[in-house]
């Protein structure tokens, strides 16, 4: 079912080939948006996701780009603009998780965490807003670990996600006069290949939640669709939590 809420809009989703990113790509397409997605190393998965999105009658584009590489991030935005004639929605979804206690966390892991989870968001936003008109949307997929890190080894990851809370507040001020909104979505545990809903780690996390289950990618994508749509025009500088009560 195509709701046409985003008909004529053009979107870029970073890290859009699988997991939460793939769910977002398909949901935006279902709402009528043309969607480009970036991937790092699996063109087949990216092609499959784009193929599913195309079934809604929209244009799609897959772009190989490592979020740690600033030039590649800018190039992905430019390719999207060239292919679609502009950009209205940027979803910064690409992210990595390097978990290790302070004694063993390497500086290389720290730097890559910051590069992918923070710098790439800034770089992609800076590149995209050059082309955005009034009504533009920047949406970052962050994490409820920005507010709560209840187990060991997550210091750099939590830091990188908390940094985006401050970033969107500042960006909302910069871009508000231009009618562009910037927001974070802070998911709790979501059932993906990287973080499956079954296993020892999952059981530990479920005990920390008010709803003892993992989210489905579609539930996160629904919040993205809301923020990307016309009804969310007054929401900016916000970090919206969808975490099953992980931070309650």
In whole angstroms, what separates CA 19 from the centre of its chain? 11
39 is known as an active-site residue: no
Beta carbons of 218 and 23 less than 8 angstroms apart: yes
Those residues with Cβ within 8 angstroms of residue 186's Cβ, 6 or more apart along the chain or in another chain:
142, 143, 144, 146, 147, 161, 239, 240, 241, 242, 243
Annotated active-site residue in 39, 157, 214, 226:
157
Beta strands in the chain (DSSP E): 10-13, 34-39, 60-64, 89-92, 137-141, 181-187, 239-242
**Residues labelled as active-site residues:** 157
């Amino acid at each position: 079912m195509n709701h046409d809420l985003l008909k004529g809009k053009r979107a870029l989703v970073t890290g859009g080939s699988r997991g939460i990113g793939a769910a977002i790509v398909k949901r935006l397409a279902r709402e009528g948006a043309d969607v480009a997605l970036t991937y790092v190393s699996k063109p087949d998965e990216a092609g499959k996701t784009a193929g599913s999105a195309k079934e809604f009658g929209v244009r799609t584009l897959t772009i190989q780009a490592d979020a740690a590489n600033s030039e590649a991030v800018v190039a992905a935005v430019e390719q999207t603009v060239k292919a679609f004639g502009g950009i209205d929605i940027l979803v910064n979804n690409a992210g990595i998780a390097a978990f290790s206690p302070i004694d063993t966390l390497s500086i290389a892991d720290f730097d890559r965490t910051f590069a992918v989870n923070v710098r790439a968001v800034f770089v992609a936003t800076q590149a995209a807003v050059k082309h955005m008109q009034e009504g533009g949307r920047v949406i970052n997929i962050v994490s409820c670990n920005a507010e709560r890190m209840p187990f060991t080894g997550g210091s750099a990851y939590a830091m990188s996600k908390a940094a985006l809370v401050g970033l969107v507040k500042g960006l909302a001020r910069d871009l508000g006069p231009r009618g562009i909104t910037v927001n974070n979505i802070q998911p709790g545990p979501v059932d993906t290949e990287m973080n499956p809903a079954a296993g020892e780690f999952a059981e530990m996390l479920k005990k920390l939640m008010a709803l003892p289950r993992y989210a489905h990618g579609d539930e996160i994508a629904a919040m993205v669709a809301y923020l990307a749509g016309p009804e969310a025009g007054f929401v900016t500088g916000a970090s919206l939590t969808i975490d099953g009560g992980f931070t309650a």
